[in-house]
Amino acid sequence: MRILLVEDDAQIGSAIASALDDAGMAADWVTDGSAALASVDAGAFELMLLDIGLPKRDGFSVLKQLRQNGSTIPVIMITARDGVDDRIQGLDMGADDYLVKPFLINELLARVRAVARRHSGRSQPFMAGGDLMLDPSNKKVTYKESELDLTAREYRLLQALLSSPGRIYSREELEEKVYGWEDEVNSNAIEFLIHGLRKKTSKQAIRNVRGLGWMVPET
């Protein structure tokens, strides 16, 4: 899952970015409101963490513009402790949830998972496709009930495929979900990851649809 983090406080921003990374989510981090809007246009983000007090455009202005543009990206606002009016305004403007500063990283991660789950129409906390099962809360992935030892990128790739079993993902879509802006992506990087995943599971676990991309079967 790729997340856009919009936070101008360097300390908070780097703490969140590294926690998201540890949790298997690819976070791209920008520090002002204009960059946030440009990034949503440019990238395939599945969720935005949006601070309110930002340079150039504040969080409300970003949110308003996003929704006016028709973007349905889920947004979690980051608000100040005494900002109850901010929270109400944010939710009414189309935010999906909020976090109150200071918050525990574990709460942030749980809210990210919950909002992503609701947005994708899943009510079950785990993701499944074929004989694969992924639990985002503890990053545990099993195939035919035995636990897999995955690299961070293999995990992200599988999470992307399992967010919609039966749907075919193209190479470009998977690259966007697995890699951040700063990553160098080789032209056969996705094939390489798929190859590794198949070795840990089976050829049937991740299917190749020639010329189109890859999918995991529905359970």
Residue with tokens 């809210």: 111
Please state the closest distance from residue 9 (CB atom) to Ca ion, in A.
5
Binding letters toward Ca ion, positions 46-85, x by CB under 5 A = -----x-x--------------------------------
Closer residue to Ca ion in complex, CB, 33/130: 33
Query: Which residues 24-53 are close enough to bind Ca ion by CB under 5 A?
Result: 51, 53
CA 31 to chain centre: 18
Closer residue to Ca ion in complex, CB, 63/206: 63
In angstroms, rounded to a whole number, what is the distance separating the alpha carbons of residues 157 and 136?
13
Q: Does 8 bind Ca ion (CB under 5 A)?
A: yes
Please state the closest distance from residue 5 (CB atom) to Ca ion, in A.
12
Question: Could you tell me where the DSSP H helices lie in 137-216?
Answer: 152-162, 171-178, 189-200
Q: Does 175 bind Ca ion (CB under 5 A)?
A: no
Pick from 4, 6, 5: which is nearest to 33 by CA? 6
Closer residue to Ca ion in complex, CB, 46/86: 86
Closer residue to Ca ion in complex, CB, 82/149: 82
b/e sequence 15-43, b meaning 16+ C-beta within 10 Å: ebbebbeebbbbbbbbbbbebbbebbeee
Q: Does 173 bind Ca ion (CB under 5 A)?
A: no
Pick the piece of the chain touching Ca ion (CB under 5 A) from 1-9, 27-35, 153-161, 171-179: 1-9
In angstroms, rounded to a whole number, what is the distance separating the alpha carbons of residues 198 and 207?
9
Please state the closest distance from residue 102 (CB atom) to Ca ion, in A.
13
Q: Which distant-in-sequence residues (6+ apart) come within 8 Å of 201 by Cβ? A: 131, 132, 143, 148
Closer residue to Ca ion in complex, CB, 51/176: 51
Q: How many CB atoms lie within 10 A of CB 166?
A: 12
Residues binding Ca ion (CB under 5 A): 8, 51, 53
